[in-house]
Each structure stands twice: as structure tokens, then as C-alpha cells.
């Protein structure tokens, strides 16, 4: 039985993970050999990525906003944004 892929338009370098509808492998813009796991359900639907930028910059800022009760602004790396398109 073949899994159905999402119906929305796909972006080059974004590959859906079969059987996991909100998870994608996103190819790095600077190194086509690197792929990052993006999970759009993570962080309450905000989305998370395994790239260094997300782990070292976006996630700590998102956590700080949450801890200080500030509105959760878009703290996303380009890989999460590409998977959202």
C-alpha cells in the first residue's frame, strides 16, 4: 500500500517523511549533502529543526519568550519556513 503525500505544493529540497505527515527532511541551502529534520508539530505547532541556527538561536529565544510570558513571535529558522510553504 502506497502512502499518500500531502496535497499542498512542495518546495524543492523539502521531502516529506512517509507515515509522519508533519515531519520533513529539508536540504541545506549551503551544503546540498546536509539534510535537517523539521517537525512542524513540535513546540505546540510552532515547529522545530535540527539545524545549528535553530538549536543555538531560535529555540533559546523561543524558550525565553515563553518563560517571560511574552507573545510567541516567529522564532523559526529558514528550514522550518521552507517546510511550512
pLDDT tens track for 35-78: 999 999 999 888 999 999 999 999 999 999 889 988 767 789 99
Whole-model pTM: value is: 0.81
Q: Are the beta carbons of 80 and 47 closer than 8 angstroms?
A: yes
Q: Are strands 35-39 and 48-49 parallel, antiparallel or unpaired?
A: antiparallel
Q: Are strands 14-17 and 20-27 parallel, antiparallel or unpaired?
A: antiparallel
Q: Which residue matches cell numbers 510567541?
A: 72
Residues in the chain, total: 85
Closest Cα partner for 82 from 35, 19, 18?
35
pLDDT band for position 1 (cuts 50, 70, 90): very low
Q: What are phi and psi of 39, to 5 degrees?
A: -115, 110
Indicate if the pLDDT at residue 34 is higher than 70: yes
Higher local confidence (pLDDT), 1 or 41: 41
Q: Are the beta carbons of 30 and 77 closer than 8 angstroms?
A: no
Indicate if the pLDDT at residue 3 is higher than 70: no
Amino acid at each position: 500500500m502506497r502512502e499518500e503525500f500531502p496535497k499542498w505544493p512542495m518546495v524543492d529540497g523539502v521531502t516529506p517523511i512517509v507515515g509522519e505527515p508533519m515531519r520533513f527532511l529539508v536540504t541545506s541551502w549551503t551544503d546540498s549533502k546536509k539534510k535537517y529534520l523539521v517537525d512542524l508539530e513540535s513546540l505546540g505547532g510552532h515547529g522545530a529543526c535540527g539545524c545549528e541556527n535553530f538549536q543555538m538561536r531560535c529555540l533559546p529565544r523561543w524558550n525565553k519568550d515563553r518563560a517571560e510570558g511574552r507573545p510567541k513571535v516567529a522564532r523559526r529558522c529558514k528550514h522550518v519556513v521552507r517546510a511550512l510553504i
